[in-house]
């Protein structure tokens, strides 16, 4: 084959690859756009419905743009601003302290079981994994906190049980093993560095994506939790935002049912609109936070899934 023919063949290959690449990009962008619309569309409906008159929702259904614009749903939720602000404060408290302490405990545990010189690392890893399959059950768990430790009515059992998760420990261990080569830690040991020095000065600085990933999982878990508050709270001082909105929804539903058998008038009570407004109030802070950690979250998930 002559040099000219070879150049023509290489040019045709480049052209074909370029055409195929552009076609793939176009199809990918179209599919991603459709996926984005599918994901965003329900939230737009929720946001629009929260500003729509309840009677309009019941009669005409949901729409992309609000119809018969009203703030009645939000007025119902914020009718007692002191209570909802207290619920917000406690939710931020649970989320902050739980995420902060959880990151410390999960990261240090993952570092220990990622070290090959730790003799019992496989045994400890198995015990951690075992708890994700078999547990003592909800009743013994509740009795330990409520009766044995006498923690019912306090904030401690609402945030403490969710500090550590087997999945997050294994994810962080994999991320540490993938991001920190053994040669680096071995060199630090030769220079006289201890495990605390290695952890805080060598391992921790490269764990940004892993910390963002695990932190987001922890924060979302605390922010969306209502179940532990329902079991251990005895007054509204320790309620989470989710449980406060859950209780408000139950009260609204109860009033609606009472109106059917009594003379109580609740025809203007925005039941459906309140549900949508609750979703907006509960998810708003998370939606504002997620864009700032999305890049690190994707990186952490990708790196943490390379090897187990």
Concatenating the DSSP letter of every residue in 36-48 gives: HHHHHHHHHHHHH
CA distance 300 to 295: 9
CA distance 303 to 308: 11
Q: Which residues pair with 69 in a beta bridge?
A: 52
pTM: 0.76
CA-to-CA separations, 129 to 110, 125, 132, 171, in angstroms, rounded = 12, 6, 5, 11
CA distance 279 to 242: 9
| pLDDT tens across the length of the chain (308 residues) | 555 555 545 555 454 556 777 788 888 889 989 988 888 888 888 889 888 888 888 888 888 888 888 888 888 878 777 888 888 899 999 999 999 999 999 999 999 998 888 888 888 888 888 888 887 778 888 888 888 888 888 889 999 988 888 889 988 888 888 888 888 888 888 888 888 888 888 888 888 888 888 888 898 889 888 888 888 988 888 888 888 888 877 777 777 677 666 555 555 555 778 888 888 888 877 777 777 766 666 555 555 444 44
Read off the tokens for 112.
Answer: 């220990």
Which DSSP category does 52 fall into? B
CA distance 107 to 114: 10
CA distance 108 to 207: 12
């Amino acid at each position: 084959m002559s040099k000219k023919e070879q150049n023509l063949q290489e040019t045709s290959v480049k052209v074909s690859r370029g055409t195929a690449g552009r076609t793939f990009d176009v199809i990918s962008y179209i599919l991603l756009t459709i996926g984005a619309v599918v994901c965003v569309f329900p939230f737009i409906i929720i946001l629009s419905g929260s500003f729509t008159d309840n009677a309009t929702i019941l009669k005409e259904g949901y729409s992309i743009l609000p119809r018969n614009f009203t703030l009645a749903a939000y007025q119902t939720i914020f009718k007692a601003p002191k209570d909802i602000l207290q619920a917000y404060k406690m939710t931020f408290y649970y989320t902050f302290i739980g995420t902060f302490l959880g990151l410390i405990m999960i990261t240090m545990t993952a570092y220990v079981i990622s070290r090959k010189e730790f003799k019992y690392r496989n045994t400890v890893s198995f015990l951690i994994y075992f708890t994700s399959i078999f547990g003592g059950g909800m009743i013994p768990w509740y009795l330990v906190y409520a009766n044995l430790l006498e923690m019912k009515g306090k904030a401690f059992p609402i945030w403490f049980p969710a500090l550590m998760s087997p999945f997050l420990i294994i994810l962080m261990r994999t991320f540490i093993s993938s991001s920190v080569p053994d040669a680096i830690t071995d060199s630090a040991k030769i220079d006289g560095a201890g495990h605390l020095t290695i952890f805080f000065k060598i391992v921790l600085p490269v764990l940004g994506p892993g910390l963002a990933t695990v932190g987001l999982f922890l924060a979302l878990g605390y922010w969306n939790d209502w179940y532990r508050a329902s079991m251990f709270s005895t007054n509204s001082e320790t309620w989470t935002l989710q449980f406060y909105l859950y209780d408000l929804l139950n009260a609204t539903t109860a009033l609606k049912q009472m109106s059917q058998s009594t003379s109580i008038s609740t025809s203007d009570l925005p039941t459906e609109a309140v549900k949508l407004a609750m979703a907006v109030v509960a998810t708003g802070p998370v939606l504002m936070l997620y864009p700032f950690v999305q890049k690190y979250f994707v990186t952490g998930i990708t790196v943490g899934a390379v090897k187990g």
